[in-house]
Every structure is written in structure tokens, then in C-alpha cells.
Amino acid sequence: MIVKGFVKPTPGKLRKKIGILEANNNNVNFDDMFISSKKTKIIKIHNTKEDTMFISPANELEDIEIEIKPNILFPGKYGKLIIHFNPENRNFGKMTDVALINIEFAGKQYQGEFTVNTNIIEDFSKLTSKELANPPKILVDTKTRIIKGLIPEKLNTEIIEIENVGTGDLYIRNIQTFDKGFIVEPTKFIVKPGEKSFLNIKIIPNYGVSKIKTIVTIISNDPEQSVISFTIIGEIDQPERTSSKKMINEVQIKKAKSIINNYKGNNKFVILDVRTAEEYNIGYIEDAVNVDFNGSNFKKMIKLMDKQKIYLVYCESGTRSKKAVDLMSEMGFKKIYHIYEGIEGWKSKQLKLIHPEK
């Protein structure tokens, strides 16, 4: 029986890519590892080209050794990348490295990459009976902290309290957050029983976003919960402002609605939707014209527009439209309003959208 739409996989075919090499994997996970442990993983590679490849490591990674066997790979032949990982110099917690390899093929140089992931954890099996009888115990005063009234491009600070309610010294091994808008600094890394430490959460939000969120992870020597996480949500007060390009005005949804009402029927006012045609046809602001920012003729279309008119520009979330208004400013448009929250912000206020007839 043949099932329509089902494609039977080619036996032995490698489904991933590392540069011009076919591979069975380009995202290597070592999972949980103790600092004292060592692990090895293997990636199978295949030269599907009609010429020989010469393969060599392109970057040095701390505690990671890559063997290439063979480093000369003839057409149609298979080889392997052997990844040895010894995390003795690593911090506790999750980590990701990007390994690069050079591939010389047909007189040209290519490069491929794969990621190496692991989570470095503490080996509590090595604790003495005395340490087990007198463990530290971490207590964090929040699971989710919502911070209101953040000011864009200004340093905002929030304090999170950590307490050691156990009977042994608490060591904060590492603190991780993967959002660049947040800096987390503890007042001390060793907390005696009954004492407290404080995390200074420093936040510098950008213009153009109304909310930011991150997960902060604390790694400690508490054997019962060595990893504990909490969420920080920041709500940002976005003032209406004029950017360094004087003709661009960043506006909130309420202000955008007011502008539309004020200029209703004015032929010198244009609402510009820079999303794709597919997005536009799902729903758009009344009277908006659509020019796809990612379309090949965007610049050409913009050049044809009257630079003396007033433009209100939006996209889905504010990212493409920000690039669009910057470009329009550089091209000499005199007055531009930018809805930095995009159509998502418009929808959140349950404002009217036009849905083309199907």
C-alpha cells in the first residue's frame, strides 16, 4: 500500500549538514556531567561530492578535543568526528560551544560548524556523612517577580533575597541568565547558616518593547535542590519620543489611533504596512497600503513615494518596521510615525482590523 505524501527514507543517508559535509548530527548533547567526568561522542560524516575533502579543526575550545578520522575523505567515503569533553575547567550549569572545522574541497576553502551542549552538575555522592548531616538549604524569596515602571535605556535595579536556612555553608556555584538585557550580581557567594545574600538584578531595557522576560538560574551546593530558577518579568513604560533621526516619532498604540483619527481623509497621510502580503491579507489597519520590507523591490517602491507626506508605519511586532523607518529617514522622508508595538500591540487593544473578503 502506498500512502500519499509519505516518502520512505533512503537507507544510510545522513540527514544533517556540517558545511558541505553530510552528517548524522550537528548538535552534540553530553547531557549532565560531573566536573571530574569525561565523555566522548561521535558524529558520522559523509563526502557526497565528486572530489576529495581535506578536513581540519578551525577553532580551539577549552576542554574539548576534536579528532577527525580520516582527515582526508575521498569521494563517497564516510568518516567521523570524535569529540572528547573533559569539563574540569568549566563552571557549573548549562553551556553551549560552537565547534568549527575547515574543509578544503576542489581548491576552495569551506567551513562547517556544530554545537556542543552540556550541563555541569555537582557530584553529591562524594559528600561525607558529616556534610550530609549538616547540609545547606537555599531559599529564594520569589518564583516570579514582576517589575513595573521600567524606563528604556536607563539602569533599573531589582533586589532578590537568598537565605541559607540549612545548617551548612551555602556556596553559590554559578548564576545564569541568557538574556543580555539582564545582569545578575550576588552580594556574596558564600552564605553562612541563617544568613542572607542578595541578588542585584540590573536591567537596561531598550526602546520599542513593552515587556521583557528572563529566567534566572542559581546553582549551589544544596544537595536537595542544587539548581533553582525563578522568572523576572519587566514591564516597560515607553515614552513617546523622537529618535536621533529627528523625523521619526516612536508612538504607542493609543497615540497611533489618535493620529489615524486626526488625519482621516487627509491625502497627505499614509499608513504603511511593511509585512508580507500573506500577513497583510490576514488583517490590516484600515486604509493601510502594503509594501513588503523583505521584498526585492522595497527600496524601489519607497523611492517612488512622496517624501513630504506623513507616514505611519507598522509591521507585526516592530522589528521590520523599525528598519523600514530608519531607511526612510535616511532617504529624506520628513515626518514618520512608527508603531513600535506593531500589529500585535494593536490586536492586544482589540482595535479594528480589515479582513479582505475571501
Tell me: the pLDDT tens digits for 333-354?
989 999 998 998 898 888 999 9
Residues 282 and 300 in one domain: yes
Tell me: do 213 and 133 sit in the same domain.
yes
Q: Which pLDDT value is given to residue 237?
A: 79
Residues 133 and 211 in one domain: yes
Q: In 3D, which of 12, 9, 7 has the Cα closest to residue 22?
A: 12
- The confidence score (pLDDT) of residue 152 equals 79
- Distance of alpha carbon 51 from alpha carbon 349, whole angstroms: 59
Amino acid 239: pLDDT: 63
Per the domain annotation, does 342 fall within a domain?
Answer: yes
pLDDT band, residue 151 (cuts 50/70/90) = confident
Of 111-125, 148-162, 265-279, minimum mean pLDDT range: 148-162
Domain CATH for 297:
3.40.250.10
Q: Does residue 334 lie within any of the structural domains?
A: yes
pLDDT of 350: 87
Looking at the domain assignment, is residue 355 inside a domain? Answer: no
Mean of per-residue pLDDT scores for the chain: 88
Same domain, residue pair 151 and 203: yes
Same domain (yes/no): 28, 59: yes
Residue 38 and residue 114 share a domain = yes
277 plus 328 within the same structural domain: yes
Q: Is the peptide bond before 70 cis (omega within 30 degrees of 0)?
A: yes
Is the pLDDT at 6 greater than 60? The verdict is: no
pLDDT at 3 over 80: no
User: Quick check: is 358 in a domain?
Assistant: no
**pTM of structure:** 0.59
Which pLDDT score, from 0 to 100, does residue 79 have?
96
Q: What is the band of 274 on the pLDDT scale with cuts at 50, 70, 90?
A: very high
Inside any domain, residue 6: no
Considering the domain architecture, whether residues 97 and 181 belong to the same structural domain is answered as no
Asked if residue 176 is part of any domain, the answer here is yes
Is there a single domain that holds both residue 141 and residue 60? Answer: no
Q: Same structural domain for residues 134 and 59?
A: no
Q: Total domain count for the chain?
A: 3
Q: Which residues contact 353 (CB under 8 A, 6 or more apart)?
A: 283, 284, 285, 286, 343, 346, 347
Could you say which of 66, 96, 121 is where a domain stops?
A: 121
List the domain range (segments joined by +) for residue 93.
16-121
Give the CATH number for residue 182: 2.60.40.10
Domain final position from 79, 101, 121: 121
Q: Are 52 and 147 within one domain?
A: no
Residues 154, 66 share a domain: no
Among 183, 211, 236, identify where a domain stops: 236
pLDDT in tens, 175-210: 998 877 788 999 999 999 999 999 999 888 876 677
